[in-house]
Chains A and B, each alone.
Chain A
C-alpha cells in the first residue's frame, strides 16, 4: 500500500505543480502569461538536466548544448523558407529548403538531442567528477562555437528569427508534463536504479557487475533527448533564438535551479525549476517596479541577479541537498520512519542464536549475538 502511494505521490507532486503554474499563469495578464510559459519551459530543461545529473551524480555543464541543438534544428526547419534563403544564403541546400511542422520539429529536436548526446556520451561517460564536469563544459563551448560560426548549418552569429510561436501555456504544460513522466518512468527502470547506486561508490558497483559506463550513457542519452525537446519548446516560445541564449548563462541558471531544488530528486528538479523561475520572474518585474497595494517597490537595476545568486548560495549552505533535501514529493511522510530509538527490544529469532561460539561457555567472555540484545 505504502509503496504504491509513494509512487503515486512521486509523479503527482511534480505534475500538480505544472498544473498550478499553468492555471495560475493563465489567470494573469497576457505579458505575465509569457513569463509563466517560460517557467514551464525552463522547468523542462531542468528536468532534462536532472535525468542525467540527478541520477548519475556526475555534474554535466554540457546539457545546454543539446537544448541548443534542439532549439536551432526546430527553429530553423519551421521558419519560412523564403526568408531563410535571403537571410541565410550560405545554408546547406536541404536546410534551406526543408520545411516541417511544429509538432514534427519537437520530435526531431528530441531525436537530435538524443543522438548528439549519445555520441558525446560514448566519448565522455567514462569520466567522473571534475574531469567530467570540465569535459562536458568543453562540449558546451564547442557546440556554441560551431553553431555561432558555421553558417552552413544555421544562422551563425545572427539571430534566427521568424520561428512560429506555438508554445502556448497548454503546450508548455503538456511538454513539461511529458518530460516529467519520462523522467519518472526512467528512474524506476533497473538501469537507473543501478546507476543511482553506482554514483555512491563506482568501485563497489563494478564489483557487483554494474557497468557504470553503459547506465550513464543511457541516462545521458535520455537527458539529451529531453534537452533537445525542451530546446524546441524554448525556440517556439520565443519565436527566435541566438546562440548566446543557449550558452553559459542558461547553463548556470538551470543548474542553479536544479541544485536549489535538490539535485537528487525529480521533485527537487521541478520545484527548483518552477520555484526559482517564479522568483526570477517576480524579481525582474520588481526591477520594473511592482505595486504592493499602494506601495510601489522598485528594485535597483541589476539587483535581480544579485538576489538570485545570494539566494542560491544561502540555500545551498543551509540545505546542501536543496530545499527538498533531494527527496521525492511527500517521501518523508510516506516512507517508513527510519530510526530505532533506543535500539532496544529487537525481535529475537535469529537463526544464529550465537550457536557455535557463544553457547558452550568455554570462553571467559562469550559474546552473544547482537540480535538478542
Chain B
C-alpha cells in the first residue's frame, strides 16, 4: 500500500473522469528526504491548485507516494507497486543512483518518468539509452550550475579562483569542471584545482591550501556533508575572509556554524530563496503556504516540484489529454522556455535536464543568508 493524497480536498465533482495518477517513489526517511519531500509537498500544493481550478481537462491529479528509504530492492518494488496501482506518470527521487531501480521500471512500462530535481544530466538518453527518452529532470544541469557560478564571480570582479572539488558525486565534478571552463572563457583565472572526497578526512588539509592560495574567491563543489562546515571553518579561521562560492547543493544555511565570523561572505546559487525574500511573489506565496502547513522547505529546490507538475500538465494538454508516455515525452523534449514557477524551462534531445534557467544568488552575511540577485547562465558553451 501507499499513502494516497488527493490534493484539492472536495470529492470529484466532475464525476466519471478518472484521475491522473502520479506514482511518487521517493525517500521520506533518509538522506534524500530534505530534497525529495519539499519538492513533493510543493508539487502537491500546485496540483491541488490545479485540481481546484477544474483539474486537467476535468481530471484531477493524484499523487500516490511510496517511501523507498533508498533501499534498492524496495525502490524497484515500490515502482512496480505504483505502476500496478495505475500510475501513468512516475515521479522519482532526486539522486540518479538511488532512483535508477525505479526509473527503469517506469521506462520499461513506457511511462513518462520525472525527477523533480536530479542535478546531473544523466536523466535521459545519456544514461538510459533510447528508453531514456521518457526520462526528464526539472533540476538544473551541472553545466548551468557551473556557468552561473562563473558569471557570478566575473560579475563581482573576482577574477581569480581556487576550485575545490568533492569527488564524491559526478554532479560535483561536473559543476566544478563546467565552472572552470566557463570561468576561463570569461577571462577568469583558476589559481589552483584542489580536491577531496567527502569522508576521506583530508578536508582540513585542503582547506589550508585553499585559504593560502591567494585567489579572490574559493569555489567549492560539494554538498552539506560534515565536511562543508569543516571546510568553511578552517578557511575562515586561517584568516581568509574572501568569498566562498558553491552550487545549489550547499543551499539552506542550516549547516552553517553559528559563529558570525565564520559564516559570512558565503555565496551560492539556487532555484528560489527560502529566506523569505524571493523576488517572485508566486514563490513567496507557495513558501508561505508550506510554512503554514509545517512543511517549511530547507532549500530552494522545492520549486522544481511544482515546476514539474506544471510541465507535466502542459505536456498532457498539448497531447490532447493523452497519458501515453512516449507522446508526452516527445512533447516535453520540445519544451522551450515553458513558463513555470521556477522560471522558463527548456529541454532538448541532448538535455533532459533544465538548462539556461535563471538562478537566485544567495549571500550569507554573518550567518544571515539573503537574496542578492537573479543571474542567468546564458546559453551553453558561450
Contacts and interface: CB of A to CB of B under 8 A. Distances in A.
The answer to whether A and B touch in the complex, with CB atoms under 8 Å apart, is yes
A159 B96 contact: yes
Given A30-B84, A31-B84, A287-B67, A162 B128 contact: yes
Interface string A284-314: 1101111100001010011011000000000
Given A149-B167, A157-B170, A304 B77 contact: no
Contact of A159 (B76, B108, B127): B127
A289 B84 contact: no
A187 interface: no
A31 B67 contact: no
Contacts of A244: 97
Interface of B is mostly: helix
Contacts of B101: 238-240
A286 B81 CA distance: 14
A210 to B, nearest CB: 40
B201 to A, nearest CB: 13
B1 A285 contact: yes
A301 B77 contact: no
A82 interface: yes
Interface residue tally of chain B, by bracket? 35 or more
A97 interface: no
Given A87-B126, A159-B97, A304 B104 contact: no
A305 B70 CA distance: 12
Given A284-B69, A288-B3, A158 B77 contact: no
Contact of B69 (A31, A35, A304): A304
B160 interface: no
A290 B1 contact: yes
Nearest to B105: A239
B1 A238 contact: no
Interface in B99-141: 100-101, 103-104, 108, 120, 122, 126-129, 131
Nearest to B28: A301
A34 interface: yes
Interface in A210-245: 237-240, 242, 244-245
Interface in A119-167: 149, 156-159, 161-162, 165
Contacts of B74: 35, 281, 284
A168 interface: no
Given A242-B97, A285-B1, A288-B1, A35 B73 contact: yes
A55 to B, nearest CB: 28
A231 to B, nearest CB: 13
A82 B120 CA distance: 21
B142 to A, nearest CB: 13
A289 B128 contact: no
Contact of A82 (B1, B71, B96, B129): B129
Most buried by B among A149, A156, A289, A296: A289
Contacts of B364: none
Most buried by A among B2, B78, B100: B100
Contacts of B131: 162
Given A34-B76, A162-B104, A291 B1 contact: yes
A197 B77 CA distance: 43
A38 interface: yes
B77 A161 contact: no
Contact of A157 (B72, B73, B169): B169
A202 interface: no
A97 B2 CA distance: 42
A288 B66 contact: yes
A228 B3 CA distance: 37
Contacts of A86: 126, 129
Contacts of B120: 158
Contact of A289 (B2, B103, B129): B2
B104 A31 contact: no
A285 B71 CA distance: 12
B1 A284 contact: no
A281 B131 CA distance: 29
Contacts of B2: 288-289
Contact of A239 (B29, B66, B104, B129): B104
Given A159-B122, A284-B74, 6 more contacts: A29-B84, A80-B129, A158-B96, A288-B78, A298-B3, A301-B67
Interface of A: 29-32, 34-35, 38, 80, 82-83, 86-87, 149, 156-159, 161-162, 165, 237-240, 242, 244-245, 281, 284-285, 287-291, 296, 298, 301-302, 304-305
18 contacts: A34-B73, A34-B76, A80-B129, A86-B126, A158-B122, A238-B73, A240-B101, A244-B97, A284-B67, A287-B67, A288-B2, A288-B3, A289-B1, A289-B3, A290-B1, A302-B29, A304-B29, A305-B69
Interface of B: 1-3, 28-29, 66-67, 69, 71-74, 76-78, 80-81, 84, 96-97, 100-101, 103-104, 108, 120, 122, 126-129, 131, 167-170
Give 3 nearest A-B pairs by CB, closest first.
A31-B81, A34-B77, A38-B73
